Structure 1
């Protein structure tokens, strides 16, 4: 067997794996969404694709180092000028260096086409967030079902009962949503939908609102007002009417971020205004 061929083919195959995983990680949902909805592609999770990407990178790096070792003479020839003297800054090296610097600086200052590439990736992630749904707060799947229920104003005993009626097992209320989901082969998001069934039903018929978290959870700005109200059992008609009374233009299909941009205020201000509306409704 030829070591040169093995190294060259290993570099080629590891590059192919790197290329594939790079494309997948380019379009994969944000971590909070992927973990919440248990996102998978070809049965592999976001973390598993990331692990393959990292290890393939190390294999590619190792094969490139060995490739350089076995092809040192040709590489040295690339660094020689017309006088056959070794010089690092040849015309070819300078061209490669300039291209690399343009990429780094262009990405840093966020100018097209480099910013466009990033924006397209963000677009994929925002679409995924709308499709799969956002968690009510960051890393909600790591909360125990007891803590989660308390934060979301859900009756713990009723929630556990709903899970058992649906055929899912739960050992104790200190288990995290992620652990329960893994044991029952479902996503943390599905657990939330099941245990919140009673509160959703109550809100649907009584019109009562729930207490929002103190600070807006990650990804709140990307939620449409309709999705936001659905997530927190809020009456969207009351919310839009109350926002209008505060001279804030809003529509059900507008994201919180878009509402902020339209009214020239921050998404956080929109969130605080909705929180104020819900607190007033609770008092009444």
Structure 2
């Protein structure tokens, strides 16, 4: 067998797989949504994609080192002039360094077109929330059933009855994640089941997580207000805002947090 050929072919397959998992991670929903809804794409969860990407990164590094070893002479020849003299900063090397620096600095300082590309990715990520929804509070899926019921203000005894009636196996000390995994359900499904039984007709819990990442217009929609109504309410609190501005960026100008402003508007997150 030819190790040089094996290395090159392995690198090709690794780059294909890492490119694929990188794209999936780029468009996947934030963890708070993925974990809450048991999000999957083509049969794999966000954690699956992250694990594959990380493991293949190790294989990529190993294969790259071997590849460099076998191709050391061709690589060093790129740094020689027509007289075969070694020159580190050839024209090609300078162009390569500049290209890398442009991408690195552009990403760090979030300037177009890099910021445009990243904003597109964030838009795709956050769009999943419309389809899957989000938890009623941060990391609700990690709360034990007993703690979750307490935070939501649900009756503990009735909660157990509802779960038993729906043939859901559980222990009150288990997290919603654990109960979901044991019953092939998502934490979101369990929450929706309880919510339907406890909330009165016409009432619906407003999910207040992830508000800082949304634009003013998106926050208004979440709070079931028009853009004008929310902007007017914010102005009454001394906050000037526009529809397309990020909620977090707006309120932090006034030394406030997104949740503190939400509470000032009359909304209350689960305790």
Q: What range describes the TM-score normalised by the shorter chain of this pair?
A: 0.7 to 0.9
Aligned residue number for residue 197 of structure 2: 198
Total equivalences in the alignment: 255
Task: After superposition, give the CA deviation of every residue in 1:48-107 in whole Å (9 maximum; x if it has no partner).
Answer: 110001111111111111011011111111111233121221111110000000011111
TM-score (ref. length: structure 2):
0.82
Distance 2:223 2:212 in 1: 8
Gaps of 5+ in 2: 238-242
- The CA deviation string for residues 203-251 of structure 1, in whole angstroms up to 9 with x for no partner, is 73xx9x99x9xxx64446536555457xxxxxx89xx79x869858xxx
CA deviation profile, 1:113-153 (whole Å, cap 9, x unmatched)? 10011001000011012211111222111100100111111
Taking the aligned partners of 2:53 and 2:105, their CA distance within structure 1 comes to 25
**1:126 is the counterpart of 2:130:** no
Q: Which residue of 2 aligns with 1:73?
A: 73
SS state at 2:80 partner:
coil
Give the SS at the match of 1:201.
coil
Q: Note if contact 1:158-1:195 (Cα within 8 Å) is conserved in structure 2.
A: no
**Contact 1:106 1:112 survives alignment (8 Å):** yes
Matched residue, 1:12: 12
Shift of residue 270 of structure 1?
3.9
- Structure 1 contact 220–228 (Cα < 8 Å) conserved: no
Q: Indicate if the aligned counterparts of 1:260 and 1:270 stay in contact, CA closer than 8 A.
A: no
Gaps of 5+ in 1: 230-235, 249-253, 280-284
Matches within 5 A, 1:1-284: 1-170=1-170, 172-201=171-200, 204=203, 217-219=209-211, 222=214, 224-225=219-220, 227-228=222-223, 247=236, 267-268=258-259, 270-275=261-266
Give the superposition deviation at 1:38.
Answer: 0.5
Give TM-score, length-normalised by structure 1: 0.78
In structure 2, distance between residues paired with 1:224 and 1:155:
30
CA shift at 1:268, angstroms?
4.0
CA contact (8 A) 1:256 1:270 kept: no
Using the TM superposition, give the Cα deviation of residue 274 of structure 1 relative to its aligned residue in structure 2, in angstroms. Answer: 3.0
